[in-house]
Amino acid sequence: MHTSLDCIPCFVRQTLDACRKGSDDPAIHEQVLREVLHWISEMDLSLSPPALAQRIHRRLREITGDENPYEKDKAAHNQLALSLLPALEKKVQASHDPLIEATQLAIAGNIIDLGAKSGLSEGDVLEALEHAASVALTGDVEAYRAAVSSAKRILYLADNAGEIIFDRLLIEQLGGGRVTVAVRGRPIINDATLIDAEVAGLGKFTTVIDNGSDAPGTLLDECSEAFQRCFHEADLILSKGQGNYESLSGSSHPQIFFLFKVKCPVVAETANTPMGSHALLQNQPIS
């Protein structure tokens, strides 16, 4: 997916958010914002939004010296998700369709996206989960169900901290023995890393790897050889979040399902899905 002009205000907001989390010095905020605004004027819009966001956040780390400005937010979201997990597990177990129930809850958890929205509240998360089952699920549910049933090797691309704990509900339904979960290779915005996967307890029942990259998406050319091998050998890839959709939609892998909450007008238009809906979209490889 190419970067839209409408992505530019979001880049500016992300820059200020990360600056203010990493430093309380207004002079640094101004320096970074001026640099980013200058760089934006020359950036290659044919690149995906995660590729451009990656460059912005690399520069932010250099200037502020803070490798993980969203660390406190991530920890808070993980603890919130863990506190909700037992009740949600019971909800899935009591459902007449546990796979789809778990899928809806995992997608609802994608609201925990500080790249898409600043100032996410606990109430926002609770509301998304409460109404998860009633939100429109856009996509071919039966094709998804059939793909899950037949796959022997599933690669699950995680997105954000907190959200990854709700992903656990779905991964348990998939059967952890055939699932490998991939997280980011280093901190970027509030995306999940190996630390967050450990907090979620995923290593107890499935394999967890990192992709070797610091992009808020999946830029295959920048990922580790081990991740790329796992990607190409998977029968089925379940790709969580808008960043993974933005960077992988149209890729050559024949069996990817994108699971995300539609939070951005640009993504809504590109994916032809309504704002606020739950997307369950099958990849359409571009020849």
pLDDT score recorded for residue 10:
87
Average pLDDT, the chain: 93
pLDDT score recorded for residue 130:
94
Q: Model confidence at 35, in pLDDT bands (50, 70, 90)? A: confident
Q: Which residue, 171, 181, 198, 178, is CA-closest to 103?
A: 171
- Per residue in 129-173, pLDDT (tens digit) is 999 999 989 999 999 999 999 999 999 999 999 999 999 999 999
* Token code pair at residue 178: 């055939």
Residue 62 has pLDDT above 90, yes or no: no
As a three-state string, the secondary structure of 136-205 is CEECCHHHHHHHHHHCCCEEEECCECCHHHHHHHHHHHHCHHHEEEEECCCCCCCECCHHHHHHCCHHHC
Residue 176 has pLDDT above 80, yes or no: no
Q: Please tell me the distance from the alpha carbon of residue 175 to that of residue 171, in angstroms, as a whole number.
A: 6
Q: Tell me the C-alpha to C-alpha distance, in Å, between residue 40 and each of 8, 15, 51, 86.
A: 8, 12, 13, 44
Q: Which helix (H) or strand (E) holds 80?
A: helix 71-94
Question: In the chain, what are the helix, strand and coil shares in percent, each to the nearest 5?
Answer: 55, 10, 35
Residue 72 has pLDDT above 90, yes or no: yes
Q: Model confidence at 282, in pLDDT bands (50, 70, 90)? A: very high
Eight-class DSSP state of 116: T
Collect all residues with Cβ–Cβ distance below 8 Å to 233 and sequence separation of at least 6: 153
pLDDT score recorded for residue 287:
62
Mean pLDDT of 263-283: 93
Compute how many other C-beta atoms are within 10 angstroms of the C-beta atom of residue 195.
Answer: 16
Coil, helix or strand at residue 210: strand
Query: How many CA atoms, within 13 angstroms, populate the side-chain half-sphere of residue 204?
Result: 6
Mean pLDDT of 270-275: 92
Mean pLDDT of 100-127: 94
Q: How many residues can be counted in the chain? A: 287
* Token code pair at residue 122: 């606990």
Q: Please tell me the distance from the alpha carbon of residue 268 to that of residue 287, in angstroms, as a whole number.
A: 23
Range among 4-8, 29-33, 149-153 rated most confident: 149-153
In percent, how much of the chain has pLDDT > 70? 100
Q: Which helix (H) or strand (E) holds 125?
A: helix 122-130
Q: Which residue, 62, 73, 72, is CA-closest to 19?
A: 62
Mean pLDDT of 189-209: 97
Q: Model confidence at 188, in pLDDT bands (50, 70, 90)? A: very high
Q: What is the pTM of this model?
A: 0.95
Mean pLDDT of 175-188: 95
Mean pLDDT of 195-199: 98
Residue 213 has pLDDT above 90, yes or no: yes
* Token code pair at residue 271: 């994916």
Q: Which residue, 42, 55, 40, 54, is CA-closest to 7?
A: 40
Q: Which helix (H) or strand (E) holds 75?
A: helix 71-94
Mean pLDDT of 17-21: 87
